[in-house]
């Protein structure tokens, strides 16, 4: 009888990782996955469009647990996912990334005696003011199988005392999605539709609360972006939480505000960008594979491979540090390289690990 596995996703970064994994697991003779969408990102542009772009099937369960504070959202996901686990009794629950859906599903599964599999385990920013860092640490601490994207993740888990036999270096599922959809993105009309097909431009993404919830901090970042945009015009697909914060901040015409984009559209822009300025972990990884210069608007990163191997630079969050990173990038562009196992085959390595794990459990 096939092994039933619940695959849990809720926020936009999860979908890019879940899509290739679900595809590979569905082709297994011994594993039988089903998809739970927690509804953490409930806006159509943040969720529905990504499902279509990535070829994801409709979820078997949609919990509709969006909105609220971190505590409220996590609690609501816990409340709504427990009956699903009771009904379906999966032998394993696969969680990805570091969002509230990740830690909520992992907690319920662990308390019910269901094996927890964490994809993208071991990443650490060493900054506990980040909610994502707490989610990562808690999830890893109760996981039975730890699927790792880069060497730093393996080292962090070993240092924290995790058994080596639970740690599996599999590569990066997000890069599986990128490599699969990049030809479609390059062939799309996204650049022409936005009128930038013949232009040099930069791309901005900002969503982390530390950057966008404090108006003074956001104004500091926009001050640096304003100067950069005098050299290279910038496109900014604006996350809903960020748009509300920009109401009292003057954004120049050289920074073009866009509605949120679908996955393929955004990938097309990334691939054609002169530079990407971001606070997103996933975008740091994608730009590394694309060979596009990336300035990360944070003081730290949980993805050091993007700096050691890739095209990423930490730019900080102050106007002066961002502009210094910009000048450094112009003076000495990073050529970058590919982190090990970021080859578009991570889903198959994940499947092999899980088939072996459940064959001996």
Distance CA 268, CA 60 (A): 30
Task: Evaluate whether residue 337 is within a structural domain.
Answer: no
Please indicate, yes or no, whether residues 145 and 207 belong to a single structural domain of this protein: no
Distance CA 347, CA 26 (A): 11
Task: Evaluate whether residue 326 is within a structural domain.
Answer: yes
Distance CA 211, CA 234 (A): 18
Lookup: tokens for 272: 């054609």
Domain with 266, as residue range(s), is 183-331
Strand 145-148 and strand 255-258: the pairing is unpaired
Please indicate, yes or no, whether residues 244 and 271 belong to a single structural domain of this protein: yes
Distance CA 258, CA 196 (A): 13
Count how many Cα atoms sit within 13 Å of the Cα of residue 330 in the half-sphere of its side chain.
Answer: 9
Please indicate, yes or no, whether residues 78 and 127 belong to a single structural domain of this protein: yes
Number of domains in the chain: 2
Distance CA 311, CA 230 (A): 23
Q: In the prediction, which pLDDT does 24 show?
A: 98
Helices (H), 6-99: 12-26, 48-54, 70-88
pTM for the complete prediction? 0.95
Lookup: tokens for 75: 């609690």
Q: Answer left, alpha or beta for residue 76, where phi above 0 means left and psi between -120 and 50 means alpha.
A: alpha
Chain-centre distance for alpha carbon 109: 22
Q: Which of 191, 152, 173 is nearest to 286 (CA)?
A: 173
What are φ and ψ of residue 275, in 5° steps? -155, 150
Element spanning 256, H or E: strand 255-258
Element spanning 325, H or E: helix 319-331
Chain-centre distance for alpha carbon 174: 8
Please indicate, yes or no, whether residues 17 and 113 belong to a single structural domain of this protein: yes
Please indicate, yes or no, whether residues 155 and 254 belong to a single structural domain of this protein: no
Element spanning 203, H or E: strand 202-205
Torsion sign over Cα 10, 14, 19, 25: negative
Q: Which residue has the tokens 């790792």?
A: 148
CATH assignment at residue 240 = 3.40.50.2000
Dihedral over alpha carbons 102, 345, 339, 237 (to 10 degrees): -60
4, 145, 211, 268 from 353: Cα distances, Å: 15, 9, 38, 32
Q: In the prediction, which pLDDT does 241 show?
A: 74
Q: Tens of pLDDT along the chain (361 residues)?
A: 899 999 999 988 899 999 999 999 999 999 999 999 999 766 655 566 778 899 999 999 999 988 889 999 999 999 999 999 999 999 999 999 999 999 999 999 999 999 999 999 999 999 999 999 999 999 999 999 999 999 999 999 999 999 999 999 999 999 999 999 999 999 999 999 999 988 899 999 998 989 999 999 999 999 999 999 999 999 999 977 788 889 889 999 999 999 999 999 999 999 999 999 999 999 999 999 999 999 999 999 999 999 999 999 999 999 999 999 999 999 998 988 999 999 999 999 999 999 999 998 7
Count how many Cα atoms sit within 13 Å of the Cα of residue 119 in the half-sphere of its side chain.
Answer: 31
Distance CA 162, CA 122 (A): 10
Distance CA 297, CA 149 (A): 22
First CA to last CA across the chain, in angstroms? 14
Marked catalytic residue, from 37, 62, 168, 207: 207
Number of continuous H segments (helices) and E segments (strands) in the chain:
16, 13
Q: In the prediction, which pLDDT does 123 show?
A: 98
Please indicate, yes or no, whether residues 245 and 119 belong to a single structural domain of this protein: no
Task: Evaluate whether residue 100 is within a structural domain.
Answer: yes
13, 35, 74, 103 from 71: Cα distances, Å: 20, 24, 5, 11
Please indicate, yes or no, whether residues 107 and 218 belong to a single structural domain of this protein: no
Please indicate, yes or no, whether residues 188 and 268 belong to a single structural domain of this protein: yes
Does the annotation count 207 as an active-site position?
A: yes
Q: CB of 287 within 8 A of CB of 311?
A: yes
Task: Evaluate whether residue 43 is within a structural domain.
Answer: yes
Task: Evaluate whether residue 299 is within a structural domain.
Answer: yes
Q: CB of 41 within 8 A of CB of 10?
A: yes
Q: In the prediction, which pLDDT does 42 show?
A: 61
Distance CA 267, CA 264 (A): 5
Please indicate, yes or no, whether residues 65 and 201 belong to a single structural domain of this protein: no
Q: In the prediction, which pLDDT does 1 show?
A: 86
Distance CA 317, CA 221 (A): 6
Task: Evaluate whether residue 178 is within a structural domain.
Answer: no
Please indicate, yes or no, whether residues 79 and 106 belong to a single structural domain of this protein: yes
Task: Evaluate whether residue 177 is within a structural domain.
Answer: no
Please indicate, yes or no, whether residues 278 and 356 belong to a single structural domain of this protein: no
Please indicate, yes or no, whether residues 208 and 90 belong to a single structural domain of this protein: no
Q: Which of 13, 31, 175 is nearest to 101 (CA)?
A: 13
């Amino acid at each position: 009888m096939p092994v039933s596995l619940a695959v849990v996703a809720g926020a936009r970064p999860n979908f890019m990782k879940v899509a290739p994994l679900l595809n590979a697991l569905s082709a297994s003779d011994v594993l039988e996955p089903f998809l739970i969408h927690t509804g953490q990102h409930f806006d159509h542009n943040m969720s529905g469009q990504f499902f279509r772009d990535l070829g994801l099937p409709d979820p078997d369960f949609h919990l509709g647990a969006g909105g609220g504070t971190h505590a409220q959202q996590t609690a609501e996901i816990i409340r709504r996912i427990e009956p699903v686990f009771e009904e379906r009794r999966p032998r394993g629950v696969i969680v990805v990334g570091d969002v509230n859906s990740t830690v909520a599903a992992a907690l319920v599964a662990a308390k019910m005696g269901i094996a927890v599999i964490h994809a993208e385990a071991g990443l650490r920013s060493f900054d506990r003011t980040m909610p994502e860092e707490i989610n990562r640490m808690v999830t890893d601490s109760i996981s039975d199988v730890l699927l790792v994207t880069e060497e730093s993740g393996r080292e962090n888990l070993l240092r924290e005392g995790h058994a080596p036999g639970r740690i599996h270096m599999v590569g990066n599922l997000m890069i599986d999605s990128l490599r699969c959809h990049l030809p479609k993105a390059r062939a799309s009309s996204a650049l022409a539709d936005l009128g930038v097909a013949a232009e040099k431009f930069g791309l901005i993404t900002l969503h982390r609360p530390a950057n966008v919830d404090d108006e003074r901090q956001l104004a500091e970042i926009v001050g640096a972006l304003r100067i950069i945009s005098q050299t290279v015009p910038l496109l900014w697909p604006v996350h809903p939480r960020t748009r509300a914060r920009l109401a009292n901040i003057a954004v120049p015409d050289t920074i073009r505000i866009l509605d949120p984009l679908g996955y393929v559209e955004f990938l097309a822009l990334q691939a054609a960008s002169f530079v990407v300025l971001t606070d997103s972990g996933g975008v740091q990884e994608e730009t590394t594979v694309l060979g596009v210069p990336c300035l990360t608007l944070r003081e730290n990163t949980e993805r050091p491979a993007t700096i050691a191997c890739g095209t990423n630079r930490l730019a900080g969050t102050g106007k002066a540090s961002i502009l210094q990173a910009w000048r450094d990038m112009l003076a000495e562009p990073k050529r970058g390289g590919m982190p090990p196992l970021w080859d578009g085959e991570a889903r198959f390595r994940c499947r092999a690990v899980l088939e072996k794990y459940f064959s001996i459990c």
